[in-house]
């Protein structure tokens, strides 16, 4: 995949990655805090975060000894513009789109007790 749009849609195809984006809608988070609600290893979460970062959906920065993740909504803008090009979609209000994603993604956050 060389097209950035391919990376965005591939990253969004996974429910765990969509749930991670939902968590990051609220605020920047440390990697360990991102991993907390999931029943998987920190290494597995780190792989998901690497895919999201590679797609430009998040950025990561080291602050002291802690690695932080931040949502980068501009990558979603590229996907939105692409969808609008088909003319079947009304222009997307990105604020409304973000609220929609927050609602949809929060429903898909896995329950770590299951």
Strands of the 58-63 sheet, one edge to the other: 29-30, 66-71, 58-63
- Higher-confidence residue of 94 and 31: namely 31
Q: How far apart are CA 108 and CA 104, in angstroms?
A: 7
Q: How far apart are CA 60 and CA 113, in angstroms?
A: 28
Q: How confident is the model at residue 113 (pLDDT cuts 50, 70, 90)?
A: low
45 belongs to a structural domain: yes
Q: How far apart are CA 100 and CA 46, in angstroms?
A: 26
pTM, to two decimals: 0.73
- For residue 36, give its domain range: 4-106
Q: How confident is the model at residue 67 (pLDDT cuts 50, 70, 90)?
A: very high
Chain length of the chain: 114
Q: Is the pLDDT of residue 104 over 90?
A: no
Give the per-residue pLDDT at 90: 60
51 belongs to a structural domain: yes
Number of domains in the chain: 1
- Per-residue pLDDT tens over the stretch 37-64: 999 999 999 999 999 999 999 999 999 9
111 belongs to a structural domain: no
How many C-beta neighbours within 10 Å does residue 55 have?
A: 24
Distances (CA, A) of 28 to 25, 31, 34, 59: 8, 10, 9, 10
- Per-residue pLDDT tens over the stretch 17-36: 999 999 999 899 999 999 99
81 belongs to a structural domain: yes
Average confidence (pLDDT) over 87-95: 65
Query: What CATH number does the domain containing 90 carry?
Result: 1.10.10.10
112 belongs to a structural domain: no
14 belongs to a structural domain: yes
19: left (phi over 0), alpha (psi -120 to 50) or beta: alpha
């Amino acid at each position: 995949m060389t097209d950035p749009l391919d990376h965005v849609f591939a990253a969004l195809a996974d429910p765990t990655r969509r749930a991670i984006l939902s968590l990051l809608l609220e605020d920047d988070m440390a990697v360990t805090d991102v991993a907390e609600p999931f029943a998987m290893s920190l290494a597995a979460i780190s792989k998901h975060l690497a895919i999201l970062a590679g797609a430009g959906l998040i950025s990561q920065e080291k602050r002291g000894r802690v690695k932080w993740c931040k949502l980068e909504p501009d990558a979603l803008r590229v996907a939105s513009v692409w969808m609008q090009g088909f003319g079947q979609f009304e222009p997307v209000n990105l604020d409304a789109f973000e609220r929609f994603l927050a609602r949809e993604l929060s429903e898909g956050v896995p329950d770590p007790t299951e």
